[in-house]
Every structure is written in C-alpha cells, then in structure tokens.
Chain A
C-alpha cells in the first residue's frame, strides 16, 4: 500500500533522514521518501505487517507529526 503523510517541522535534509531511518527500521516498510520542502513522507508498506497508525506513531516519535 502507498500513502503520503503530511508532516510538521521538517526543515532540512537531516530531518528527512531521521524520518527515513526510523521508518526503515520498522518491519513491513518497503520504501520511504521524505521531503522537507513539501513537508511530507511517501511510504510504501505491507499492510499485513505494519499499520498506518504505527507509521504515524513512528514519525510522531521523531517529532515531525
């Protein structure tokens, strides 16, 4: 499943990397692309292994939601 999540507070490429690294550590994430310019994260994931709520929780844990 593909989804785009709007984030808050990403202001540089380091912020993008924090989000990408955090999500890539989770089981079920297939691809992640974060953009601080658009303040959003595109995520491709396996719904059977990880939920959208969990993904949002991870992004929130990094402080960008």
Chain B
C-alpha cells in the first residue's frame, strides 16, 4: 500500500540523507520517494501509517499524514484574542514597542528643553527625523528582542530570513534618517554598521549562513536607505517618509508573524528566554543617544549645509 507523509522541513541534502537512512532501516518498507515537502512510501500491511510518521518524527522533523496548513492572518489574530496565554511574548512585543517609543520621545523632549533648544532651527531641521529615528530604533529593537526571546531549532531557511530581514530593515530605516540629516557618506557608514551588526546578531541563530546573509542584507539596506533620502531631498522626502517607515515597520511585524509560525507554533523544543524590559530599554536608549550625537555633531555633506 502507498502512504504519503507530509514533511515541510526538508531543506537540504542532509535532510534527505537522514530520512533516507531512517527509512532504509525500517522493516516493512518496499520503496520510497522523498519529494520537496512530502514522502511517498510503498509498504506492506504489517507496518502502520502512524509508525511511519513516528520514524520521521524520531529524526526531529515535523511529519503528518495531513498537509500542514498555516493559519491566515485573520485566523491568527482571532487565535491571539481567544488564546492570549499562547502569545505572552508576542503581546509584550506590542506593549514594549509602544513603551520604548514613548520613552524615547519623552527623553527627546527633556533633552530639547535642557540642552538642544539653543541649536538654531532645531525643530524645523531635525524634528521629523528624530521622530522617525525613534520609530526606527524602537521597531528594530523589538525585532531583535523577539528573535532572541526564543531558543529553538531553527532551519537555515528561517534563520537566513530572520538575519536578512532585520539586518536590511534596520540599515534602511536608520540609514535613511542619518542620510537625510548628515548626507550620503555618514548615512551609509552608520546604516551599514548598524545593518551588518544587527544582521549578524539575529542571523546567528542558524550559524554562519545566517550571519553572512544578515551582514550582506545589512550592507545593502544600510546604503540604500541613505541613498533614498539623499536623492529625494528636493523631491517631497517628508511626504515620502511616513510611507517608507510604515512599510519597513510592516515588514518587521511580518517577520515576527513568520517567526511565531515557523519557530514557536510548529517548532519543537522551544525555550523562552526574553530579555527583561529594563535591559532592553537601557540598550535602546544608549543606541538612540549615540545616533542623536551622530545626527547633531557628525560631519554633514555640503548640500545639507556642512
């Protein structure tokens, strides 16, 4: 008889070899064919379908006689409302992000009244960019926090996706802000540095491949971000920025959605180790202060008035 077993995590030759070895050792199997996301097995009546699924699962792959169906976005949102206990960390992502953003804005206001109001044309010159900086830093921080909150088996594909997305988006958003305030050179240097570091940290979950992917994406995002704002400086950049930031934030939220689907809900042996809010807030504030100092005191390109 023929049994089809769905195995969504077959990603490389090593995965195929492991499954092949396991099935070769199993008595009662006549032949099998390993496809991209399922295995077709011809076997005798003396071995049950559930036993075949267990053979695959014993090698730490997800396996089922039914196809793996993902929840849609609306189903996921409904599940979050009805089963809040499953989403403790994800709900914290929302609340921490808003808290950190508001905290940064409050600190900016305090800094303005204490130190910064003496800088000529401070608000017209920097107001919007500091606002976008706060959004960019708090969103990036939450993307990193969410990724590092879990210790789990992560496939290379998922790990590279995490490093690439967070590395690129962080470089693009922060690079864009610094590019607008200081020009292409400082914007690119800052964006690239942040993007590669963030990409390496977050891609590390799947080893060297994830680190490489994250760093490459960080370079790309860190240079593209300032390029966009510098080129658009005389072409409605302030109208463009809300859309630009919104899309980048949406991509990072999408990554968190994917992280939950791939690693938490369908993953195995997931350990939760979220960083506490105080540590998160401290690191974010220090990073923001350093970036503000770059905005205010780093060299500026001639076309910005440097």
Contact = CB atoms under 8 A, between A and B. Distances in A.
A18 interface: yes
A12 B156 contact: yes
A18 B22 CA distance: 11
B270 to A, nearest CB: 14
A11 B60 contact: no
A15 B208 CA distance: 14
A21 interface: yes
A58 to B, nearest CB: 14
A11 B156 contact: yes
Given A18-B14, A18-B17, A11 B59 contact: no
B18 A11 contact: no
Contacts of A36: 207
B209 interface: yes
A49 interface: no
B59 A12 contact: no
A14 B14 contact: yes
A59 B257 CA distance: 38
Interface in B273-303: none
Query: Which of B14, B156, B208: most chain A CB closer than 10 A?
Result: B14
Interface residues of A, number: 11
A52 interface: no
Interface in B154-191: 155-156
Interface in A1-38: 11-15, 17-18, 21, 36-37
A36 B14 CA distance: 12
A14 B14 CA distance: 6
Given A17-B59, A17-B60, A12 B18 contact: no
Instruction: Rank and list the top 3 A-B pairs by shortest CB-CB distance, nearest first.
Output: A14-B14, A37-B207, A14-B15
Interface of B: 11-12, 14-15, 17-18, 21, 59-60, 153, 155-156, 204, 206-209
Given A12-B12, A12-B207, A14-B15, 10 more contacts: A11-B12, A12-B15, A13-B153, A14-B12, A17-B59, A18-B14, A18-B18, A18-B21, A21-B18, A37-B204
Interface of A: 11-15, 17-18, 21, 36-37, 39
